[in-house]
Chain A
Amino acid sequence: MGLTLTWLSVIILIPLAGLFLRTLELSPEQFWAILSSRRTLNALRVSFGLAFAAACVNLVMGSIIVWALVRYRFPGRRIFDAIVDVPFALPTAVAGVALTALFAEKGWLGAPLAALGIKVAFTPVGIFVAMIFIGIPFVVRTVQPVLQDLDPEIEEAAGSLGASRWQTIIRVILPSLAPALLTGLALAFARAVGEYGSVIFIAGNLPNVSEIAPLLIVIRLSEFRYADATAIAVVMLVVSFVVIFAVNRLQRWAQSRIPAR
């Protein structure tokens, strides 16, 4: 107990407190001025907006991947299963360079997309792609064990009671997976908001357009404007905390409808 608290304090709470203390050096007016500057607002908007969109895409695509991995036996299934973890394991900078090379105007995917008039690298779309890449394992790995535990008999039961495939998915399978899906969404979102390495390579980092908040913090730090940097950091922290808290509540609500077996 004591060890747990001490460890948590040293690792998490003290650095966070330091962050808040540093911000206190600013007067409320200064704090407000930093936050309401166009560049800060745009950076936060890019970070949170795209992270949320990417997490939603990951939720849908991740669920489909999980379904295939759990319910079907196909050649190479184990390899695909292992590939899911690649974004976990890959150094983010390597991922960033690889994605950039792939989506650059002369890259394998970038070239055909450019021909269609779609530019991915060095635009917000690139950020979006990178966030999807690094978030997908979070959804897959949280939902997978729950789906494995889900008895296929309940689908047969629904079918024999007259439910169509669609009704079975909507009324039986998704509600059973809801807590795991929400957790996966929250984790993928949190990871995408904080992602730095893979995004800055592909983003182009144009202020107000494709500049993410973590990058803006680094820029402020390199300009020795520490207070500015911590102010942005505090906002990210608070928003992330609120989101995690909300998802937690949602999850608990969903779980209360499925008491432990």
Chain B
Amino acid sequence: MTIEVRNLVKKFGSFAALDGVDLKVDNGELLALLGPSGSGKTTLLRIIAGLDWPDAGEVSFNGEDALAQGARERHVGFVFQHYALFRHMTVFENVAFGLRVQPRAVRKDEAAIRARVKELLDLVQLDWLADRYPSQLSGGQRQRIALARALAIEPRILLLDEPFGALDAKVRKELRKWLRSLHHEINVTSIFVTHDQEEALEVANRVVVMDKGRIEQIGSPDDVYETPATAFVHGFIGESIELPIHVDGGVIRLGERPLQLAAEGLAPGASRLFVRRHDMLVGPPGTGAFEGAVQHVRNFGPVQRAEVALAGGETIEIDAPRDKELRAGDTIGLNPRRYRIFAG
């Protein structure tokens, strides 16, 4: 199933949750909608599911107008952040719900429903919990049951709204891997919403980065990390150093200090320079584009993180390998291995 969204607009009062969004999702993709809260990602997901309606724009599934149908007719599996399981039903009945409410003409008989539920519980590896109530399960188990429930109706599309957002870090990591392999197994076109970049980059085939109701970039996890399209994406994904610079006469300046960086093709005026923390290479004083004094150093697993006061007046944090000798008070040169400059 392919999904196409064209020029979608949704306003809540004067706040534009979606401000002209275009998106194409291919069959069998596992797509992540990534953005800070308030970026419109959940609104977009809910409109695709039929739980919300846009003020303008189109949504189509396989070329068919989806907005003509309600949530009930769209045949979309939806997984909520807080599970939304039916508390008065056993796990078994929760999963069976979608099968039991089908119109009588197409409804399966009891034996077929039982077999299907069993199969789904096996798929999420929780068949031994069939007779429990949701309140007796852990968060991770509940979310897997919610997923089995959504899959019971053989959805054409699977939509997950911050599926791991309410879980603790360890369970979240396990479930990420599990979701990836599950998607590989069932191969249903899937979209999941997250504000956790690590989750998006690790799980998805393609990542859509959103901010303020607009799409900033669509690309593979490598694309959005290595070649961010906008200043927002660079700042949001990965840990970045951001410096306000000024370009004039083919020279880049940080404050008054000219930087030894190529300025070809840059528009004159105020710009911002972005460097990944680990792309700032440490050298002896006088050797790099920047110069600064180390304020303090802390060890962070495989790297050491140093706070450096630059000669231009800014203070930045860099990640250097552990074997590099760095001490508070040292004056060092810094050279960006890779960097990007965005106007504005």
Contact = CB atoms under 8 A, between A and B. Distances in A.
Interface of A: 151, 153-154, 156-164, 167, 171-172, 175-176, 178, 257-261
Contacts of A162: 72, 75, 98, 101-102, 153
B84 A259 contact: no
Nearest to A150: B87
- Size class of the contact patch on chain B: 20 to 34
B29 to A, nearest CB: 20
B87 A160 contact: no
A259 B136 contact: yes
A163 B72 contact: yes
B237 interface: no
28 contacts: A153-B84, A154-B85, A156-B51, A156-B84, A157-B78, A157-B84, A159-B70, A159-B72, A160-B49, A160-B51, A160-B72, A160-B74, A160-B78, A161-B97, A161-B149, A161-B153, A162-B72, A162-B75, A162-B101, A163-B101, A167-B101, A171-B100, A176-B87, A176-B88, A258-B87, A258-B133, A260-B135, A261-B87
A160 B71 contact: yes
Given A159-B72, A261-B135, A153 B87 contact: no
Interface string B78-111: 1010101111110000000110111000000000
A161 B49 contact: no
Given A154-B84, A261-B87, A261-B135, 11 more contacts: A157-B149, A158-B97, A158-B101, A159-B51, A159-B71, A162-B72, A162-B98, A167-B101, A175-B88, A258-B135, A260-B135
A172 B100 CA distance: 13
B54 interface: no
Nearest to A167: B101
Contacts of B72: 159-160, 162-164
B308 interface: no
The secondary structure that dominates the A interface is: helix
A186 to B, nearest CB: 20
Contacts of A171: 97, 100-101
A156 B52 CA distance: 10
B150 to A, nearest CB: 7
B217 to A, nearest CB: 29
B61 to A, nearest CB: 14
Contacts of A257: 88, 133
Interface string B135-156: 1100000000000011011000
B77 interface: yes
B50 interface: yes
A258 B49 CA distance: 29
A260 B88 CA distance: 10
A36 B100 CA distance: 52
B198 to A, nearest CB: 26
B97 A259 contact: no
A215 B75 CA distance: 61
B67 interface: no
